[in-house]
A and B are shown apart, each in its own frame.
Chain A
């Protein structure tokens, strides 16, 4: 099918999926992710081949229809990517059918979000689907193809079973930064309990060709503050294939305070498999050496190709399945609702505690009517050039959204 026709067909499917005919509630909208690229230690001489401006423009639609205890939901977007890559694609974030009862039973089949965990910027126990960006965790993420079943033997206890095709690569990236994911069959069981006013969740997650993950999640209110700690113990490094037999710990712990129309959250993230300073220096050194070798005309072609292959794997690590390259991170987020009529402001900052890299994301949300929501977030990167966050070949990014709800 020719590309323009494919795009038109995609658009038609999306409009029908979001249309009022089949949905109890639905929304349509636009998203735009605009990136200003730049050369960095990772993107020397723009080896990723990015245009100065890369743009992802999306027409989005979501529809949900409930028929008693049954419901279907579809959420999708048609994306027009401009820059080095110039193409139009259709992506379903969710497309599922479910049967749900008030006594806590749920059976959901199809592409769906599994996201769980009390962590605000990082969720070490939610490793079935692409990790959210800690710089803007509110960004809508795609789900995975899965079957999910929930059972609640009592109001204070529930069990969730999931079998599906896990995906973990970062999303919403332009051009060659966006790497195709290789879905992997995985299963998870999660028991959630409320014991003595403390939320407790235990998770086990296993995947084909991968050792298991055991997660423990705790949440409790302390005075006006809600505290949480989400931890995962797992075998096999996600950033270094040479460390397949080691066991690692990740913990995201923090607090949320919500006085009046404001909220303030802080979170610390310990990434046990993260690189130490010397390991990170060695990683950057390896990137440099292999890229130089790949471009060295004095070397035979086979050696250059081999060096480029190694560089390519290393260069893909920041954009693949992991929650960060370093060990210690912190985030802080502040929101203030109603600073003017229907206008909210928010400010998020995520920092690497050892390399002083910082991502600051100020944002605005405006809802002029009950149906319309607009938001704008700007992603700004600070810190020394050798910091992890400054490796990204992005100078800054703009994320704009407009939604019309019916």
Chain B
């Protein structure tokens, strides 16, 4: 009997990573689909400073193609971020210059980094395991432990919570260094119907290192079926921006 119970426990352990990956796969497409165009408003908050609000149009194609173009305020209009595979570029209209930037660089001066915005496949970058359950704002959630598959990704370890109610909406994520130091906390909420389906429309990334520092991303418009040409996600396209 004891041997049988141990065998069952081993089977559960063996299946847990697959189950975790399955949950993660579902969770990561709840906000944006495989291909999407969207309008986003980013608000960067810092203690003692006025909030900085930027509106942008974004496009994604698969896990490796992303492009974000600032549309407001006028002083920042025309700034473009591009992600293609493992390469990230920025076009700065004032300097009329295209520059490569690192994946861990801050996105737009806020608390998200380029990897958070453009590295869209968590299942590819992280190995997921189920690590129990927790309740967040009264909603039971799966707790997933994500460990980076390589050092090139944005974070070494992520504690990722996904709603158990069948929606698979992500609700909370905590990001850690390899030594276990907590860097950031991400909260996902404001479930609304946008682009024809219900989804979380707000993400708040809070710095665990700087008191009062947090950045809000609010989706204003989402289209899950845009027609996008693969060639718009090319660094050469940024040189044509001017």
Assuming the contacts A192-B235, A341-B50, asked whether A138 and B240 have C-beta atoms less than 8 A apart, the reply is: no
Q: Is the CB of B104 within 8 A of A152?
A: no
Q: Which stretch, B1-9, B91-99, B125-133, B136-144, touches the partner chain A?
A: B91-99
Is A312's beta carbon under 8 Å from chain B?
Answer: no
Mark out the residues of chain B between 70 and 116 whose CB falls within 8 Å of any chain A CB in the assembled complex: 72-77, 84-88, 94-97, 99-106, 109
Q: Is the CB of A338 within 8 A of B100?
A: no
A237-261 interface code vs B (CB 8 A; 1 in, 0 out)? 0000000000000000000111111
Mark out the residues of chain B between 29 and 43 whose CB falls within 8 Å of any chain A CB in the assembled complex: none
Is A53's beta carbon under 8 Å from chain B?
Answer: no
The interface residues of chain B lying within 8 Å CB-to-CB of A102 are 228-229, 231-232
Mark out the residues of chain B between 188 and 242 whose CB falls within 8 Å of any chain A CB in the assembled complex: 228-237, 239-240, 242
Is A156's beta carbon under 8 Å from chain B?
Answer: yes
Q: Is the CB of B236 within 8 A of A158?
A: yes
Contact partner of B237 (CB less than 8 A), chosen from A104, A340, A369, A371, is A104
Q: Is the CB of B105 within 8 A of A27?
A: no
Which residue of chain B has its CB nearest to the CB of A152? B231
The interface residues of chain A lying within 8 Å CB-to-CB of B53 are 370
Is A7's beta carbon under 8 Å from chain B?
Answer: no
**From residue B213, how far is it (CB to closest CB) to chain A in Å?**
11
Q: Is the CB of B234 within 8 A of A258?
A: no
The interface residues of chain B lying within 8 Å CB-to-CB of A112 are 242
The interface size of chain A toward B, counting residues with CB under 8 Å, comes to: 56
Contact partner of A258 (CB less than 8 A), chosen from B86, B105, B239, is B105
Q: Is the CB of A258 within 8 A of B102?
A: yes
A127-154 interface code vs B (CB 8 A; 1 in, 0 out)? 0000000000110100000000010101
The interface residues of chain A lying within 8 Å CB-to-CB of B74 are 25, 27, 370-371, 405-406
Q: Is the CB of B101 within 8 A of A158?
A: no
Assuming the contacts A116-B239, A138-B95, A155-B231, asked whether A221 and B86 have C-beta atoms less than 8 A apart, the reply is: yes
**From residue B201, how far is it (CB to closest CB) to chain A in Å?**
23
Which 5 A/B pairs are nearest by Cβ-Cβ distance? A370-B73, A405-B74, A158-B236, A226-B100, A224-B102
Measured CB to CB, the residues of B under 8 A from A are 46, 48-50, 53, 72-77, 84-88, 94-97, 99-106, 109, 228-237, 239-240, 242
Measured CB to CB, the residues of A under 8 A from B are 25, 27, 100, 102-104, 106, 112-113, 115-116, 118, 120, 137-138, 140, 150, 152, 154-158, 160, 192, 194, 197, 199, 219-221, 223-226, 228, 256-261, 337-338, 340-342, 367, 369-373, 403, 405-406
Question: 11 new A-B pairs (CB below 8 Å) besides A155-B234, A258-B101?
Answer: A104-B229, A104-B237, A221-B100, A221-B101, A221-B102, A224-B105, A226-B100, A228-B100, A260-B106, A369-B73, A370-B72
